[in-house]
Chains A and B, each alone.
Chain A
Amino acid sequence: MDKKTFLIDVDKCSGCRLCMIVCKDEHVGSGYSPWTKPQPDTGQFWIDVHSLERGRIPRVRMSYLPVLCQHCENAPCVKACAEAAIKTRSDGLVWIDPAPCTGCGLCQTACPYDVIYMNGDLKIAQKCTGCAHRVDEGALPRCAEVCPHDVIVFGDVENGKTLKVYHPEYQTGPRVYWKGLPKPWIAGTVIDALSDEVISGVAITSVDLFEDASVTVLSDEFGDFWIRGMEKDRKYRVEIRKEGYQDFLSIVTTDGDQDVGTVGLKRTP
């Protein structure tokens, strides 16, 4: 049977949280046997939009990551469960069978994605089922169905080799694939220090100090530049060169998005 997958495009997400609300609409007060018991009124987010505030004023943007159960092929929760309550359907959706589940919490500890919740009243663990009850009837999971920006696409895409997963280092074989996962940027604004005018069309180059690689962008009409898609935790030399001006050089470490601020280029004597 084709495995079901989610494909999440971070670049399209505007952070509206409709996915979070309709997940509650579907599951709070409604159980779908055998896949899940009702979700409690509050406190559980089977899909949770993580907000990343990026950059420094005025070069700021938001990235949003709707994180749900990654429906892993090598799911640590499955291995952790002493009752064999966590199962993988033939279509790949991973679910916690509430019947044998004792609510011991081992699965919650085991999950590196932090998407399993404990229901104290029912004494069970709960998480996203991939809306298995809907999928069985040919309908989309609620989050994928409601998304106004086509961020969450549910289907049979089974070419995981070419698609990225979130935190591959966990090595859990997720069946949730991602596009546009945020990578650090180096940003700034270039002005002429003397005339206090922005300079557009300046070449700004980032040179990876560990690998023989560099990227060059041009400043825009506001003097702003953004070098996107940098590797995390690397050292880069940022070079801003323009004829008639002294070179500006700076070393940055991409432990997050980097902003060099307003760079006032000095004219050569």
Chain B
Amino acid sequence: MSDHQEHRVVYVSHPASGLARSNFPLECHVEGSRIVRSLPFYIPEDVRLYEIKTSRGVFTRPRKEVQMPLAFAAKRRVHSATRVKYPLLRDDWSPDNPNAEQRGKSGYSRISWEQALDVIVGQLNRIHEKYGSMEPVLVQADGHGHSGYMQSLHFWGHYLFDMIREHLGWGWWTQQVRNPDSWEGYYWGAKHVWGFDDTLGEPYQDAVWDDVLEHAEMVIFSGNDPEATGFGMSGSIALEMPKWLKRAGIKVVAISPDLNHAAAVHADKWIPIKPNSDGALYLAVAHTWIVEGSYDKEYVRTHTVGFEEFRRHAMGEDGGVAKTPAWAEKITGVPAHTIRALAREWAAKKTTLSVYFGGPKIRGTLSHVAARLEAYVLAMQGIGRPGRQFLRTGAPSFYKKSLAQVPRYPEVDHHGIALNPMIEYAIGHGPKSPVFIPRTLAAEAIQCPSIEWRGTTASLAKTEDQFNHYRFPPNDGHPGIRMVWNENGSQPGSWGHGWNWLEALANPRIEFVVGVHPWLENDIPFSDLILPAQTNYEHEDLVTVQRSDVLAMFYQDQAIEPVGESKSDYEIHRMIGQRLGLDDVFPPAEQWLKAAYGGTLASTKHGTTWEEFKEKKHFVYDCPTWDEWVEIKKEHGFGPNEGGLHWFWSAGDGLETPSGKIEFVSSRIAELDPDNTERPPLARWVPHGELRDSPKGREYPLSVMSNHPRFRFHVQGDDVDWIREIAKVRGPDGYMYEPCWIHPTDSDVRGIADGDIIMVHNERGALLVGAVVTERIIPGALSIDHGAKIDLAMLNNTLIDRGGCINLIAPTPQEKYGAGAEIAIPEMNVSGFLAQAAKIDVSDIVASTGLGHGATVPG
């Protein structure tokens, strides 16, 4: 501390920043080219914070803004052993002989940037000449890695190819469309019940806390973990919100297969449930309400359509069995008496349901079933009534009709911070290129002669898009994918069936793979050419704080000298653009940042010039006073302690569904896809192949659930020694294994003890994890967080992942339909699937093929 004054203070974007939006940055103290320490940011005293005034007290947030542990440890990644310092070319790749099968196996040699640009431009020219367009280039660039506002952004590949099309006339590229990954069930299911297309099927959050903190008596955390997902995505505010609930005297009931980190300390009641069986629970809750007459009959009559058909289904009057609590107990593992008690409490107390994204239930096989049935039961208790809301314990700014979750000036929401237009390529209304594939089907697009599916999967696409038919390749005789542009480095660890993706990259059809990334990790060692990208510490950028409750912008100085010859993602694409004569559309970064800042209120209203902003380094926007907020709300039709869907409760109309009401029977599905047994017009419990009582369950009797990790951020963090120390299980061989939660009833019968190394496997492959024998997981289930760093090794002559990346053996959406069949719902499934677990002897492991923690990077 004595040298405090000598340090430069630099605000560095949080590693969880992605999609050009960020949390608050940390205040990094830098000495020379060393990051000495990272401290929380304190919102200056002259910035007015908000107050939510209720009869239960006044609620606000602290000025101190901390971030997840990984943010403080992120400086350790800069010089990680796997850091790529120079352009690297795979040793046995050549333009004439790509040796595709060797991807993932062979070594690399350092080349110069000039040589690297020669190779890239040469390959682009070759593709253009050979195939006549850029359509054979799959551009995979949609976030989920280390990212920032502009310089470290991962969307530049799309922009580059879009500019090549526009200015060189080389035609379209194959755009990988990011599916609604964290919201799958709401997107594919709940949108058919209540719309909310702009918020991926989750109800608007306008001023919702004003209502909840005044009125709610019980909040159900449905897989919600603000201590993990929320903290990583929104920072401090996600930790404050559960405390608001407790202070307001609201009971918290957690429903999840695991006692997650928030539930373990905040929940008054935990209801363990078998993975992906929430739909059956909701049906039994509805059954209880119908039997006891304890739902909001008037609301159902005036605000919904199709309830009678649902009532008949729940009661078993449609030829099926009655969906009683006893029926649900067998499927969910929740005792019937607990289901009835829950139903009675839910009816008697003003109850709000809370998620961050939706928990493990929302990213599994047929998660749209759970989401639709969740919407049904919320409707039966009159969602929008005071205290009966849908609540996100985090404050992403775009979950609104017109107002933010907490008191904020609408003009600040609209014009306060710079939005990077590149976001439309990733979280967009639809693909820009007519030639595209969903991210969930990237491997299939390479491996299969052709695939057909419905829906662009674009996050903000209208519901009706889910009935459009698409195919890849777009026509017969099309060359398909011949080149992969990988800016993510996250596909095998964030999406389903990662093994498939790794195999696809080694497919001989693929002539060239470019990886743009700071580290040789995950699927990056399957590239032919690796371009060294920088971390956020190594360049100037903007930090646009949009995922917090308070909005702000920071100027990020360059903290340290670039490692090796690394360049920012933007600069890398700019250099390629310049080689192609696209100088005009790739201006210097500073020019781009200045223009972006110039359009914000900080500049246009408050008169802080770009130079002043760079000097002061931050601009945090005031929040309105409570009285101002009450006036603002009045203009938008809300009373002082009204919020959320109060407007719909008042109006009974105005949703985006065809009827404008909540639809138990979806009129759109009834019209466009009435015979779909998986997603029929009326949602019902649909058994499927990833349930334990399915035929596959005999061989693979454990149901794997997977959360967002607490100490990683998706695939980031496992290469940080401090994170491994707190997050992993140390094996008898000293290796740090990914933890796997298993209940004593399941470990005992398998002879597994706490700390043992076990193999988790199914028909898709195998991985190694460290057993954590715990009461925090329901019997019959395993919990392994997603995104562990891949480390391929051999175990008894079988290729396995020693890193414990569970996504490698998660399903693909294609499996349900079979080869060649149309994929009706191309949903991502990374939780709630079958596997088996067995203890292994670590001495049987033949370690790392060179892609793991110990990999040394040439150069």
Q: In the complex, are the beta carbons of B265 and A15 less than 8 A apart? A: yes
Q: Is B72 in contact with chain A by the CB < 8 A criterion? A: yes
- Chain A residue nearest to B348 (CB atoms) is A221
Q: Which of B40, B725, B743, B779 contacts A145 (CB 8 A)?
A: B40
Q: Tell whether A18 is near chain B: CB-to-CB under 8 Å.
A: yes
Chain B residue, CB-CB nearest to A132 = B1
Q: Are A16 and B69 in contact (CB under 8 A)?
A: yes
Interface string of A1-42 (1 = CB under 8 A from B): 000000000000111111011101110111010000000011
Across-interface contacts of A26 in B (CB, < 8 A): 37
Which residue of B239, B264, B340 is within 8 Å of A148 (Cβ)? B239
Question: Once the chains are docked, how many angstroms separate the CA of A145 from the CA of B66?
Answer: 10
- Residue A186 at the chain B interface, CB threshold 8 Å: no
The CA of A139 and the CA of B259, in the complex, are separated in Å by 37
Q: Are A56 and B775 in contact (CB under 8 A)?
A: yes
Closest CB-CB distance, A97 to chain B, in whole Å? 18
In angstroms, how far is the closest chain B Cβ from the Cβ of A267? 15
Encoded as 1 (CB less than 8 Å from any A CB) or 0, chain B from 42 to 76 comes to 00000000000000000000101010110011010
Q: Is the CB of B726 within 8 A of A14?
A: no
Q: Are B1 and A58 in contact (CB-based, < 8 A)? A: no
A99 within 8 A of B: no
Residue A133 lies at the interface, judged by CB distance under 8 Å to chain B:
yes
Chain B 355-371 per-residue mask, 1 if CB under 8 angstroms from chain A, else 0: 00000000000000000
> Which residues in A have their C-beta under 8 angstroms from that of B261?
14-15
Q: Does A223 contact B (CB under 8 A)?
A: yes
Report A-chain residues with C-beta under 8 Å of the C-beta of B268.
220
Q: Which of A25, A53, A198 contacts B338 (CB 8 A)?
A: A198
A25 touches B72 (CB 8 A): yes
Q: Which residues of A contact B73 (CB under 8 A)?
A: 21, 24-25
Please determine whether A21 and B40 come into contact, CB atoms closer than 8 angstroms.
no
A136 / chain B contacts, CB cutoff of 8 Å: 1
Binds A, one of B269-277, B302-310, B668-676: B269-277
Q: Mark contacts of B223-247 with chain A using CB atoms, 8 A cut-off: 1 yes-contact digit, 0 otherwise.
A: 0000100010000100100010000
Pair A21/B269 contact, Cβ less than 8 Å:
no
Whole-angstrom distance between the Cβ of B248 and the nearest chain A Cβ = 17
CA distance A86 to B725 in the complex (A): 28
What residues of B have a CB within 8 angstroms of the CB of A16 in the complex?
68-69, 227, 231, 239, 710
Any chain A CB within 8 A of the CB of B166?
A: no
Q: Mark A196-230, 1 if CB is under 8 A from B, else 0.
A: 11101000000000000000000011111000000
Chain A CB within 8 A of B170 CB: no
**Which among A29, A58, A59, A146 is the interface contact of B66 at CB below 8 angstroms?**
A146
Q: Which of B34, B243, B262, B337 contacts A197 (CB 8 A)?
A: B337
**Interface 1/0s, chain B 19-36, versus A by CB < 8 A?**
000000000000000101
With contacts A42-B722, A57-B272, A139-B1 taken as known, whether A262 is within 8 angstroms of B265 at the C-beta atoms is no
A166 to B176, CA, bound (A): 56
* Chain B residues closer than 8 Å to A134, beta-carbon distance: 1
Is B775 a contact partner of A41 (Cβ separation < 8 A)?
no
- Using Cβ atoms and an 8 Å threshold, which residues of chain A touch B75? 25
B697 at the interface (CB under 8 A from A): no
From B66, B231, B335, give the contact of A262 (CB < 8 A). Answer: B335
CB nearest to A41 among chain B residues: B721
Does A65 make an interface contact (CB < 8 A)?
Answer: no
Min distance, Cβ A86 to any Cβ of chain B, angstroms: 23
Interface status of B750 (Cβ within 8 A of chain A)? no
Q: Mark B507-546, 1 if CB is under 8 A from A, else 0.
A: 0000000000000000000000000000000000000000
Q: Which residues of the partner chain B approach A30 to less than 8 Å between Cβ atoms?
A: 36-37
The answer to whether A148 touches B774 (Cβ under 8 A) is: no
The answer to whether A42 and B721 touch across the interface, beta carbons within 8 angstroms, is yes
A58 B239 Cβ-Cβ under 8 A: no
Please give, as numbers and ranges, the residues of chain B lying within 8 Å of A25 by CB-CB distance.
37-38, 72-73, 75
Could you tell me the distance in whole angstroms from the C-beta of A39 to the nearest C-beta in chain B?
Answer: 11
Residue A92 at the chain B interface, CB threshold 8 Å: no
A163 interface residue (CB < 8 Å to B): no
Chain B CB within 8 A of A60 CB: yes
B612 interfacial contact with A, CB 8 Å: no
In contact, B265 and A148 (Cβ under 8 angstroms):
no
Q: Are B775 and A60 in contact (CB under 8 A)?
A: yes
Query: Which of B2, B40, B341, B774 meets A146, CB within 8 Å?
Result: B40
Q: Is the CB of B726 within 8 A of A53?
A: no
Q: Is A149 an interface position by the 8 A CB rule?
A: yes
CB distance from B548 to the nearest CB of A (A): 14
A240 at the interface (CB under 8 A from B): no
Return the chain B residue nearest A135 by Cβ: B1
- Most chain B CB within 10 A, of A17, A20, A220, is at A17
Closest Cβ–Cβ distance, residue A180 to chain B (whole Å): 12
Complex CA gap A262/B58 in Å reads: 40
CA distance A145 to B41 in the complex (A): 11
Bound Cα distance A222, B40 (Å): 41
Contacts of A28 in B (CB 8 A): 722
CB distance from A59 to the nearest CB of B (A): 8
CB-nearest residue of chain A to B721: A42
- CB closest chain-A residue, reference B35: A25
- Whether a CB of chain A sits under 8 angstroms from the CB of B16 is no
Contact A148 B1 (CB under 8 A): no
Contact B40–A14 (Cβ < 8 Å): no
A258 to chain B, nearest CB (A): 14
Contact with A along B766-786 (1 / 0, CB 8 A): 000000001110110000000
Interface string of B68-106 (1 = CB under 8 A from A): 110011010000000000000000000000000000000
Q: Given contacts A61-B264, A148-B66, are A21 and B338 in contact (CB under 8 A)? A: no
Least Cβ–Cβ distance between A96 and chain B, in angstroms: 19
Q: How far is the CA of A149 from the CA of B265 in the complex (A)?
A: 12
* Closest chain A CB from B574 CB (angstroms): 34
Is there an interface contact between A60 and B270, defined as CB atoms closer than 8 Å?
Answer: yes
Chain A residue with the shortest CB-CB distance to B73: A21
Chain B residues with Cβ below 8 Å from A55 are: 775
Tell me which of B34, B338, B342, B779 has the highest count of chain A C-beta atoms within 10 A of its own C-beta.
B338
Report if B345 contacts A (CB, 8 A).
yes
Among B341, B774, B776, point to the contact of A221 (Cβ < 8 A): B341
What 4 A-B pairs are tightest by C-beta distance, nearest first? Answer: A62-B264, A21-B69, A198-B341, A57-B775
In the complex, 17 of the A-B residue pairs with CB atoms within 8 angstroms, ordered by the A residue number, are: A14-B265, A16-B69, A18-B72, A22-B38, A25-B73, A28-B722, A42-B725, A58-B272, A60-B264, A62-B776, A64-B265, A145-B40, A197-B337, A197-B340, A221-B341, A221-B344, A221-B345
Supply 7 further A-B pairs (C-beta < 8 A) apart from A149-B239, A222-B345: A42-B722, A56-B775, A57-B779, A58-B272, A62-B259, A148-B62, A148-B66
